[in-house]
Amino acid sequence: MHRSVLQNKKYIKFAEKNSVEVMAISGAQKAVKEGHAKAGTYKAKNAAGEEVEYLLEFPGMTAAQLDKLARSGASKYNERGIPNTTIVNPHNLEAMTAFKGSQAAGYVMDEVTKARKVLTASYGKGIARKKYRKIRETQDQIKKDAADGNFAKAVGDVMKLEKSTVKFATVHTMIVAFRGEIVGMAGKHLDELEALIGRGEKKAAAKELGPLTRALKGTDLEARAAELLAKAKAKAE
C-alpha cells in the first residue's frame, strides 16, 4: 500500500483534496536505531527552524511521530489483520469501509470518493487543506499578538476568523472555542487596565481601552470594557 498508493503521484494529488492518511506502523525508532534498510533518515528544519531527523520513507515525519501514531486509536482499525486499510468517518471515527492487503491506487481513490459523497450528504462540504492551513496560520498569529499584548488586534482578528468559518461546522466549533480563549485573555487584561486606572494612569489605560472596546463589541466583555473606558476618560479630564 505504501508504494502502490501513498507514493503514487495521482493518489498524492488526489489526497491533497480528499483524504488524510493516518498510519499505524510500530517500531520506527527501533528500526532507525538498528539501521534498518527502510528506516533511513535525512535532516531538515521544521516549522520552528529546528533541525529534525525525518524518515526517508515518510518525508516530513519523524520516527517518534510514527511510533506515536501506532500507539493512538489508529491501530484499532486493524481488526482484520495487517496490512489493512480502513476509511474512517472523521466526524465520529466510525469505520465506513475496509479492505485487507495491497490495493491499486485507483481502487482506493474510488472508495474514498464514494465515502466522501456520503460524508458530504451528511455533514456538508468539507474545507480545503489550503484554507485550513491558512486558518491555523491565522490562529498562530492571533496567539502571538495576544502574547505580545496586542489584545485589540488579537480580538478583532479572532472575531473575523470566527465569521469566516461559519460554513464549516467542525472548524467553526474549534474557532468558537479559540475565540473564547482569546477573549478570556483580553478579560484578564481588562483587570490590568482597571488596576492601571486605579493607580491614576488614566491616559495610558484609555489609549488601550479605546481600540479594545471596539474589538470586544458583541462579546460578554463589551459592557465592562465600555465602562472602564468611560471611567478612564472621566478621570483623565
Cell of 123: 455533514
Give the three-state DSSP class for 202: helix
Q: 236, 169, 228, 171: which is closest to 202 by C-alpha?
A: 236
**Which tens digits make up the pLDDT trace of 67-101?**
998 888 888 887 766 778 899 998 899 999 988 87
| Matching residue, cell 481600540 | 211
Cell of 224: 465592562
| Matching residue, cell 517500531 | 27
Mean pLDDT along residues 183-212 = 95
pLDDT at 198 over 70: yes
Task: Name the amino acid, one letter, at 50.
Answer: E
Interior angle at CA 21, CA 18 and CA 26, nearest 5: 175
* pLDDT for the residue 25: 83
Cell of 55: 524518515
DSSP string, 165-218: TTT-HHHHHHHHHHHHHHHHHHHHHHHHHHHHHHTT-HHHHHHHHHHHHHHTTT
| pTM (two decimals) | 0.72
pLDDT band at 213 (very low <50, low <70, confident <90, very high): very high
Q: What percent of the chain has pLDDT over 70?
A: 97
Q: How far apart are CA 104 and CA 112, in angstroms?
A: 13
Q: 152, 170, 171: which is closest to 161 by C-alpha?
A: 171
* pLDDT for the residue 234: 84
Cell of 234: 472621566
CB atoms within 10 A of CB 87: 20
